[in-house]
Amino acid sequence: GAGVSQSPSNKVTEKGKDVELRCDPISGHTALYWYRQSLGQGLEFLIYFQGNSAPDKSGLPSDRFSAERTGGSVSTLTIQRTQQEDSAVYLCASSLIVGAQGETQYFGPGTRLLVL
Partner 1 sequence: AQSVTQLDSQVPVFEEAPVELRCNYSSSVSVYLFWYVQYPNQGLQLLLKYLSGSTLVKGINGFEAEFNKSQTSFHLRKPSVHISDTAEYFCAVSDFRDDKIIFGKGTRLHILP
Is 114 among the residues that bind partner 1 (CB under 8 A)?
no
As a dihedral over the C-alpha atoms of residue 46, residue 61, residue 73, residue 80, rounded to 10 degrees, the angle is -160
Among 27, 41, 53, 84, contact with partner 1 (rule: CB under 8 A): 41
d(CA 96, CA 105): 8
Residue closer to partner 1, measured from CB, 39 or 70:
39
d(CA 104, CA 93): 10
Among 1, 40, 63, 70, contact with partner 1 (rule: CB under 8 A): 40
Note the residues at the interface with partner 1 (CB under 8 A): 4, 31, 33, 35, 40-43, 45, 48, 50, 55-56, 59, 91, 93, 98-99, 101-102, 104-110
